[in-house]
Structure 1
Amino acid sequence: MPTAQNSQPTHYSVLIVGGGQAGLSMSACLQEQDIDHLIFEKNTMMHSWKTQRWDSFTLVTPNWQCELPNHPYDGNDPKGFMKREEIIGYLDRFAAKVKPPILEGVSVEKVSKMDNGQFRVVTTKGEFTGDQVVIASGGYLKPIIPRMAERIPESVLQIHSNQYKNSQQLPDGAVLVVGSGQSGAQIAEDLHIDGKKVFLATGNAPRVARLYRGKDVVEWLDDMGYYQKSVDEHPLREGVRDNTNHYVTGRDGGREIDLRKFALEGMELFGLMENYQDGQLIFKPNLTANLDAADDTYKNINARIDAYIEKNGINAPVEPTYQPVWEPKEERENLDLAVSGITSIIWCIGFTPDFSWLDLPVFNGMGAPVHRRGVTNEKGVYFIGLPWLYTWGSGRFSGVAADAAYLSNVIRQAVEEKESTESLSEAS
Structure 2
Amino acid sequence: MTPFVNTVVVGGGQAGLAVSHYLTDHAINHVVLEQADRPADAWRNRRWDSFTLNTPRWQSRVPGVRYGDDDPDGFMPKHEVVAHLDELARRLPVRTRARVTNIRRYGGNGCYVIKTSEGETISARNVVVATGLYQSPKIPALAQDLPSHIKQLHSDTYRNPDQLLPGAVLVVGSAQSGAQIAEELYESGRKVYLATGRAGRTPRRYRGKDANWWFARMGQYDRKVSELPSPKAKFSGKPHISGTKGGHTINLQQFARDGVTLLGRLAGVEGDIVRLKGDLHDNLATADRAEAEFVKAVDSYVASTGMSAPAEALPLLREGFDQGILTELDLAAAGITNVIWATGYDWTP
Question: Equivalents in 1 of 2:163, 2:279: separation in Å?
Answer: 31
> Which of 115, 119, 132 pairs up with 1:122?
115
2:296 counterpart of 1:308 = no
| Per-residue Cα deviation, 1:179-212 (whole angstroms, up to 9, x for no partner) | 0011000000000110100000111111111010
Partner of 2:190: 196
Which whole-Å CA distance do the structure 2 matches of 1:120 and 1:243 have between them?
37
Per the alignment, residue 288 of structure 1 pairs with 281
CA contact (8 A) 1:14 1:130 kept: yes
* Counterpart residue number, 1:365: none
One-letter amino acid matched to 1:28: H
Mapped partners of 2:346, 2:4: distance in 1:
31
Using the alignment, how far apart are the partners of 2:32 and 2:113 within structure 1?
Answer: 14
SS in 1 for 2:274: strand
Distance 1:14 1:118 in 2: 10
Cα separation, 1, equivalents of 2:58 and 2:136 = 30
| TM-superposed deviation, 1:147 | 1.8
Tell me, in whole angstroms, the C-alpha distance in 2 between the residues paired with 1:332 and 1:284.
8
The aligned residue for residue 138 of structure 2 is 144
* Fraction of identical pairs, as percent: 37
- After superposition, the C-alpha distances for 1:330-380 in whole angstroms (9 at most, x for unaligned) are 32111011111111111100012312xxxxxxxxxxxxxxxxxxxxxxxxx
Task: State the Cα distance separating 1:72 from its structure 2 match.
Answer: 4.4
* CA distance in structure 2 between the partners assigned to 1:104 and 1:54 by the alignment: 23
1:109 counterpart = 2:112: no
Q: Which amino acid aligns with 2:241?
A: V
Superposed displacement of residue 316, structure 1: 1.5
Q: Give how far 1:114 is off.
A: 3.4
Count residues with an aligned counterpart. Answer: 345
When normalised by structure 1's length, the TM-score is 0.77
Structure 1 residue 146 displacement after superposition: 1.6
Change (3 A) 1:28 1:62: same
1:75, CA displacement in angstroms? 4.8
Counterpart of 1:227 in structure 2 is 221
CA separation in 2, counterparts of 1:246 and 1:329? 22
SS of the residue corresponding to residue 307 of structure 1 reads: helix
Q: Please give the alpha-carbon distance, in whole angstroms, between the structure 2 residues aligned to 1:132 and 1:238.
A: 30
Give the one of 320, 323, 328 matched to 1:334: 328
Match of 1:260 among 244, 253, 263: 253
> In the alignment, which residue of structure 1 is the partner of 2:290?
297
Contact 1:221 1:227 in 2 (8 A): yes
One-letter amino acid matched to 1:87: V
* Distance in 2 between residues matched to 1:248 and 1:321, nearest whole Å: 15
Which residue pairs with 1:362 in the alignment?
A: none
Question: Is 2:75–2:247's contact at 8 Å kept on the other side of the alignment?
Answer: yes
Question: Is the 2:147–2:271 contact (alpha carbons within 8 Å) kept by the matching residues of 1?
Answer: no
- What is the root-mean-square deviation in Å for CA atoms of aligned residues? 1.8
Q: For residues 17 and 153 of structure 1, what CA distance do their matches in structure 2 show?
A: 40
- Tell me which residue corresponds to 1:100: 92
- Structure 2 residue ranges without an equivalent (≥5): none
Amino acid aligned to 1:165: R
* Residue 352 (str. 1) matches residue 346 (str. 2): yes
User: CA contact under 8 A between 1:288 and 1:328: conserved in structure 2?
Assistant: no
Task: Provide the residue aligned with 1:59 in structure 2.
Answer: 53
What is the Cα deviation at residue 229 of structure 1?
3.1
Given residue 104 of structure 2, which amino acid in structure 1 is its aligned partner? S
| 1:250 corresponds to | 243
Measure how far apart 1:108 and its partner are.
Answer: 1.7
Provide the C-alpha distance between the structure 1 equivalents of 2:68 and 2:250, rounded to a whole number of angstroms.
Answer: 28
Q: Note the C-alpha offset of 1:26.
A: 0.4
Q: What is the CA-CA distance between 1:269 and the residue it aligns to?
A: 0.6
Q: Check whether the contact 2:170–2:192 (CA below 8 A) recurs between aligned residues.
A: yes
SS at the partner of 1:275? Answer: strand
